[in-house]
Amino acid sequence: GAVVSQHPSWVICKSGTSVKIECRSLDFQATTMFWYRQFPKQSLMLMATSNEGSKATYEQGVEKDKFLINHASLTLSTLTVTSAHPEDSSFYICSAQKDHNEQFFGPGTRLTVL
């Protein structure tokens, strides 16, 4: 149990377009989901915390109008990168929290903006 999926696994887009990434908890309900960003050879940096039915809480320095997060149900959260630019190219990973304790991570989405 405790499987988290992400879709797509990779995406290439043109500069200026928007990209939506989905994060799903497949076999449990997650009241809280987290979105991370990871640059090559760097650790995961938390972007925002998403609670079902409420607005996401963004970390300092993360533009909420740039990275739109929606957590519409207990099994789905989406991250939309709006007007993407090459500097937004990165590896985006989500996690879902179960039982108020352990976070389970998705496989990640590789975004490349041309």
Q: What is the smallest separation between the CB atom of 44 and other proteins, expressed in angstroms?
A: 5
Give the interface size with other proteins as a residue count (CB under 8 A).
25
Please give the single-letter amino acid code of residue 11: V
**Could you say which residues in the range 93-112 bind other proteins, by CB under 8 A?**
93, 95, 97, 100-108, 110
Nearer residue to other proteins within complex by CB, 45 or 74? 45
Q: Please name the residues in contact with 71: beta carbons below 8 A apart, sequence gap of 6 or more.
A: 33, 50, 51, 52, 53, 54, 56, 77, 78
- Closest approach of Cβ 108 to other proteins, in Å? 5
The answer to whether the CB of 71 falls within 8 A of the CB of 53 is yes
Site for other proteins in 22-61 (CB under 8 A): 32, 34, 42-46, 49, 51
* Interface with other proteins, residue 62, by CB under 8 A: no
Cα separation values, 87 from 11, 90, 91, 111, 114, Å: 15, 8, 12, 10, 10
Minimum distance, C-beta of residue 5 to other proteins, in the bound complex (Å)? 10
Binding site for other proteins (CB under 8 A): 4, 6, 32, 34, 42-46, 49, 51, 91, 93, 95, 97, 100-108, 110
